[in-house]
């Protein structure tokens, strides 16, 4: 594995050294202390930790854009003024997530919907994945094999990515899913999730979001798989994006 110092990781991600140390402390970067200094493994941390250029994007903006586009597809009004929609209960997102998504300002709603809808209209896979990457923090953990199935069965975790049947590559050696931000500490403690050392491969991938979606659709599953960066996962992610675009998201 490729290791780098904290300053090197900060330069790679375009953030401060303090931010790298904070992420090591919270467990969202794979790192190990060797000889009194931290070494960071960005490859195992996943592409969600790659630099994001421009204005930071709040997860609520991403979820609002998904809400609005799905609502437009349901009512078959592609030119509707999406940011002004009074969003009802729909399949993709739970009522809790709808409430979180609607906290952003009208201007932020408009920008969010415009950004995702433009990327979908252009069939720009890279732009879609770049936008969806902001849907929440991705953390990696190491767990004992015996603890993986109880974790997948925990209703606080919504299976996704390599744990989702529609991925076509479900792996019993891995647990992946979405966890609400309010539950992550309890879930990690209850299932003995630990940060992997620099020489360990993580086997738990958690997407931390404001509130749980009610299900995982093609766009979310594509975003999950793309963050693994393996060729099979990336290929399947692009297949799912084609399916979503072809279905008229």
Both tokens assigned to 14: 């375009």
Q: Are strands 204-209 and 137-141 parallel, antiparallel or unpaired?
A: antiparallel
108 against 192, higher pLDDT: 192
Q: Establish if 107 belongs to a structural domain.
A: yes
Task: Tell me the pLDDT band of 99, cut-offs 50, 70 and 90.
Answer: confident
Residue with tokens 């991403």: 62
Shared-domain flag, residues 102 and 38 = no
Shared-domain flag, residues 80 and 128 = yes
Shared-domain flag, residues 73 and 96 = yes
204 against 46, higher pLDDT: 204
What is the rounded distance in angstroms from the CA atom of residue 63 to the CA atom of residue 219? 11
Task: Tell me the pLDDT band of 2, cut-offs 50, 70 and 90.
Answer: low
Shared-domain flag, residues 40 and 66 = no
28 in Cβ contact with 37 (< 8 Å): no
Burial bucket for residue 96 (CB in 10 Å: 0-12, 13-18, 19+)? middle
Q: Establish if 1 belongs to a structural domain.
A: yes
Q: Establish if 144 belongs to a structural domain.
A: no
Q: Establish if 64 belongs to a structural domain.
A: yes
Shared-domain flag, residues 66 and 26 = no
184 in Cβ contact with 206 (< 8 Å): yes
Q: Establish if 41 belongs to a structural domain.
A: yes
Burial bucket for residue 127 (CB in 10 Å: 0-12, 13-18, 19+)? middle
Shared-domain flag, residues 80 and 118 = yes
Task: Tell me the pLDDT band of 58, cut-offs 50, 70 and 90.
Answer: confident
What is the rounded distance in angstroms from the CA atom of residue 29 to the CA atom of residue 128? 24
pTM value is 0.74
Q: What percent of the chain shows pLDDT beyond 70?
A: 81
What is the rounded distance in angstroms from the CA atom of residue 209 to the CA atom of residue 13? 21
> For residue 105, what are the domain limits?
59-133
Per-chain mean pLDDT for the chain: 81
Q: Establish if 33 belongs to a structural domain.
A: yes
Task: Tell me the pLDDT band of 7, cut-offs 50, 70 and 90.
Answer: confident
What is the rounded distance in angstroms from the CA atom of residue 185 to the CA atom of residue 189? 6
Q: Establish if 155 belongs to a structural domain.
A: no
What local confidence, expressed as pLDDT, does residue 26 receive?
66
Q: For residue 47, what are the CA distances in angstroms to 44, 104, 218?
A: 9, 26, 19
What local confidence, expressed as pLDDT, does residue 89 receive?
38
Is pLDDT at 73 greater than 70 in this prediction? no
| 193 CB-near residues (< 8 Å, 6+ apart) | 141, 142, 143, 147, 151, 187, 204, 206
Task: Give the distance, in angstroms, between the CA of residue 183 and the centroid of all CA atoms in the same chain.
Answer: 16
Mean pLDDT for the stretch of residues 92-115: 81
What is the rounded distance in angstroms from the CA atom of residue 11 to the CA atom of residue 13? 6
Is pLDDT at 247 greater than 60 in this prediction? yes
Specify the number of domains making up the chain: 2
Q: Specify which residues 41 forms β-bridges with.
A: 30
């Amino acid at each position: 594995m490729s290791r780098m110092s904290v300053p090197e990781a900060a330069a790679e991600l375009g953030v401060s050294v303090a931010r790298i140390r904070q992420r090591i402390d919270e467990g969202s970067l794979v790192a190990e202390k060797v000889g009194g200094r931290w070494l960071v493994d960005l490859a195992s941390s996943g592409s969600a930790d790659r630099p994001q250029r421009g204005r930071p994007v709040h997860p609520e903006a991403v979820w609002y854009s998904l809400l609005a586009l799905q609502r437009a597809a349901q009512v078959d009004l592609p030119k509707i003024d999406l940011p002004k929609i009074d969003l009802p209960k729909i399949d993709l997102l739970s009522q809790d997530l709808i409430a979180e998504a609607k906290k952003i300002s009208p201007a932020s709603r408009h920008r969010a919907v415009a950004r995702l809808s433009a990327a979908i209209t252009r069939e720009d896979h890279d732009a879609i994945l770049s936008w969806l990457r902001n849907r929440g923090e991705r953390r990696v953990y190491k767990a004992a094999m015996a603890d993986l199935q109880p974790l997948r069965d925990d209703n606080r975790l919504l299976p996704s990515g390599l744990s989702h049947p529609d991925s076509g590559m479900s792996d019993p050696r891995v647990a992946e899913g979405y966890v609400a931000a309010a539950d992550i500490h309890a879930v990690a403690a209850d299932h003995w999730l630990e940060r992997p050392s620099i020489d360990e491969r993580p086997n738990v991938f958690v997407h931390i979001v404001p509130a749980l979606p009610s299900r995982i659709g093609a766009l979310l599953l594509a975003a999950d798989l793309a963050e693994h960066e393996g060729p099979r996962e990336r290929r399947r992610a692009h297949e799912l994006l084609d399916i979503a675009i072809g279905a008229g998201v």
